[in-house]
Structure 1
Amino acid sequence: MTRFIHDQFAKDYLEELLKPYGKVKASSRVAGEIREIDVLFSPAQQANNLEMLGILGKFAATSAIFEPFRNPASEEEICDCLLKLLEVRGALQREANRNKISIKELEIPKLWILSPTVSVRILSGFSAIQASNWVSGVYLMGEYLRTAIVVIHQLPRTQETLWLRILGRGKVQRQAIDELEALSSNHPFRRATLELLYNLQQNLVMSQTEESDDRELVMRLAPLYQQDREQARQEGQVEGIKQGEERLIIRQLNHRFGEIDSSVLERIRGLSTDQLETLGEAFLDFSSLTDLETWLDQNL
């Protein structure tokens, strides 16, 4: 159950980081909706400041497919990722044939499989070799496959790898969160990442997870959430707090109940900051949109 919660966090997180630099399609379907790509990214013609994302920015310098895994990617899962890449490539080739043009190499996406750990057996089986021109933890397959397996827990603990290590687990993820917390409060990705992590925390609490990694993550994020809100209040960022709470709750509602009616969204945006925080707690007990509407009727 919690694996899917982490999967959704990873998709939302990558989409949030990459959307300033190009076109992002999360959960993009291919081959008659048989398979679903986690994140398909096409960089803008002038994607400035990609270096702010470190090696994630380097991955996104050209068209890319990102397939993040919470648990170590298995042989079957990696094969499925390769099939998605080949199907996208086939679709591009068919379109080029119809238009009687050639595919530009930069238009063919590269596949980046992001996994916390990967066994030596699997790396060897796919002939994935540590790339000499990348940091440790990046293993490239054959040139024509345009694929790399990124072993997150092997990445060096540097600023350049921070945005990928956030997708690790256990100690690696907690260290990355510590580094995220230490960033300047006006860093362009700090706020968005924290909000997504708070959303992850709420979903894990709601799932009543029994996994030790998840429980430790919830405990790590709880004081950070309170500290973050208190600091924002002291700095007079009341409107920023309110907007953050709105985004957090609306994202949770959409994931749990599907697309929310615009009239309900307007009612949520009419809530005060304190009401939004109360709703965030009450939301854990909702089983349907009717519960949400009842709560709004009682609190507006």
Structure 2
Amino acid sequence: MDMRKIIILCLALTVGVISFVNAQDNKEEKKWDEIDLDSSEVEQLDSTEIINVVNNVLTLKNPSFDWFRRATWILYNVKSEKVRECYVMWAIQKELAQHGYGFGTVNDVLEDIRLCSKSMKLSNQAKVLVDRYCRIRGGRKVEAPAFELKSLQGEDVRLVDLKGKFVFMFVWDGENAMEELSIMKAIGAKYKDSTNVCCLTVAVLPINKTEAWENFVQREKIGNHLKCLHTEKNSSFIQDYCITELPRCVLIDQDGKIVNAWGISPKEDGFMFYLDRVINRLEAEPVSINDYR
């Protein structure tokens, strides 16, 4: 069987088009093991297929590797620029979308790209992507992107008008966020009389779905103690805050700096304690120029 047929068969197995009985599992593993990631057959696949092939091959070779360690392995062991570009950019995008920009693994992969790449193409692509996420990193180092969104009552809510308050935003896109929304209602009730904390929910809506959102918010009484805002999927708000996976939470301090834009969720144990602790600590801290470097 030639290499392209092996790859197509393996991809079919991945999406469940073909089912093998348990006795054939070893045959499937052998097929993955036969794939040469530098072959012309792999290069002829589209990006999604290449990513699937790499993940399946490396699951067999190195089952403990996460996607970043796989990306590093690809950089050091695969010559095909197409395979390297497809997989490494996918891994960086996935990491940034889920965890935002940090100084650890992302920078490590950027250094691996610099060391292993023959041209600047992959390095430049990765830098553009990382720079975009770097602009909204936490730690009170960067200004939160300005926004102006419509509320349930039809008013324009602007971030600049909330300066002087801690702003906690919960960004969501449907009824699958009911658990978080119920916790957000409790958070809103807790801070309803606060003069320095503002809790927002931002619904990401398809075009012409505003009425359905309004009915849902009113039915579930989400707007009793929360400002309920909405935006569209391709809005500047979504682009500026690099929102590709939902739900997302963003905490902004009273000076308009991002405290945390990833890694926090109302569903996490101790979330209310965390939010109280962060707000109380930031209130007590004098503003230092070092906070913003």
TM range (shorter): under 0.3
Higher alpha-carbon Rg = 2
Q: TM-score, normalised by structure 2?
A: 0.22
Between the two structures, name the one with larger relative contact order (CA 8 Å, sep ≥ 6).
2
- Greater helix proportion: 1
Q: TM-score, normalised by structure 1?
A: 0.21
